[in-house]
Amino acid sequence: MALLDLLKHRKSIRSYLDRVVEREKIMMCLEAARVAPSACNSQPWKFIIVDDRELKNKLCDAAFSGIYSVNSFCKMAPVIVAVVSEKSKFLARIGGMFRGTKYYLIDIGIACEHFVLQAEDLGLGTCWIGWFNEQAVKSILNVPRNKKIDILIALGYYDRENVCLEDDREPMDKIASFNSY
């Protein structure tokens, strides 16, 4: 698929088929994330793939209860990816402090979107998940207390025929201009 078509076909998927996702496909998504650019080539990420059904269900029950239950649809997804934010390289951290910019979040965003787009190309659906009980996820996945999990990604097969591809984005003239603000 041409890149722009792929980008337009990617939508957040909140309903998944009960079908195992092959490890080879997950590895391709991880490879896409691995080659992502990052400030000072810091690569400040670690991806924890949760594809063991029992563990994934336990994780979802803990991550999406109470105020987070709006995201309990994730339990339908056969795979949950927890993205651990790792320490950036010294230069990126210092530069980020001077600039007041959290480069590591930009880096993680790019790597995750690589993952997500590779998934889409393989016929897999995803949903970025930023609203979840982080402490519960860290505890279940044995993530050290000093680390952060800023984002999860739900991953799985989905019904490609029943996705609304409506363009709900801002018009071009609102988001871009040439040569001046």
Ligand X SMILES: Cc1cc2nc3c(=O)[nH]c(=O)nc-3n(C[C@H](O)[C@H](O)[C@H](O)COP(=O)(O)O)c2cc1C
Three-state secondary structure call for residue 50: strand
Position 47 contacts ligand X (CB under 6 A): no
Q: Of 144, 130, 6, which Cα lies nearest the Cα of 74?
A: 130
Among 71, 88, 118, 133, binds ligand X (CB under 6 A): 71
Helix/strand/coil percentages in the chain, nearest 5:
50, 15, 35
Position 131 contacts ligand X (CB under 6 A): yes
- C-alpha dist (Å) from residue 84 to 43, 95, 137, 148, 165: 11, 21, 11, 6, 31
Position 128 contacts ligand X (CB under 6 A): yes
The 82-121 site mask, x for binding ligand X (CB under 6 A), equals ----------------------------------------
Position 33 contacts ligand X (CB under 6 A): no
Binding site for ligand X (CB under 6 A): 11-12, 14, 71, 127-131, 151
